[in-house]
């Protein structure tokens, strides 16, 4: 069984189960968003590139208007086929452009290299941009690009560039 089948199947079952067993007496405010994504970790390094699979949660109930615009907290993580893992929490900005949404984000997190790329430090910072299209009010499809780097905290700072395809669902 491939890496993606091992990870995607349980995520689909979990997502379906949460919808099946959700308490329907509670009014749904659609202020939570799940972002499931798959892509290519460190695509710019032929020796280290790997498939990645990730999950992110956004809670718009916690968003705040600031001098930078409307900020919303995010929490998530990803795994690569080489057993590298990154968990993070940070903020994102959602810029509504009609049917398109532009979303830059910043999230510090913890990285474990597994059998993958050594990024030089456990503390890494993820900067990302995403462009998504919403065929409905509750569902978006998007593409994103991120850079993960330790900001020279470690002895080395090779960084990693990744691109992903995103499925976003509000609930």
Residue 7 has pLDDT above 70, yes or no: no
How does residue 96 score in pLDDT terms, banded at 50, 70 and 90?
confident
Q: pLDDT tens across 134-159, in order?
A: 888 899 999 999 999 999 999 999 99
Q: What is the mean pLDDT of the chain?
A: 87
- pLDDT of residue 86 exceeding 60, the answer is yes
Backbone angles phi, psi at 119, to 5 degrees: -90, 0
Residue-wise pLDDT for 19-45, tens only, equals: 444 444 444 577 899 999 999 999 999
Please report, for residues 40, 87, 90, 124, 153, the alpha-carbon distance to residue 158 in angstroms, rounded to integers and kept in the order given. Answer: 17, 19, 22, 11, 11
Domains of the chain, start order: 34-73+92-170 (2.40.160.20)
């Amino acid at each position: 069984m491939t890496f993606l089948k091992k990870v995607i199947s349980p995520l689909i079952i979990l997502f379906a189960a949460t919808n099946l067993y959700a308490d329907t007496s509670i009014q749904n405010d659609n202020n939570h968003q799940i972002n499931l994504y798959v892509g290519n970790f460190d695509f710019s390094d032929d020796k280290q590139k790997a498939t990645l699979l990730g999950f992110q949660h956004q809670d718009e109930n916690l968003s705040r208007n600031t001098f930078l615009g409307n900020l919303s907290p995010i929490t998530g993580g990803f795994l690569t086929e080489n057993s590298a893992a990154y968990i993070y929490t940070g903020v994102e900005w959602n810029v509504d452009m009609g049917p398109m949404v532009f979303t830059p984000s910043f999230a510090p997190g913890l990285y474990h290299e597994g059998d993958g790329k050594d990024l030089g430090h456990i503390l890494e910072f993820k900067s990302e941009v995403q462009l998504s299209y919403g065929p409905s009010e509750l569902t978006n499809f998007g593409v994103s690009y991120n850079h993960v780097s330790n900001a020279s905290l470690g002895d080395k700072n090779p960084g990693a560039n990744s691109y992903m395809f995103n499925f976003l669902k509000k609930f």
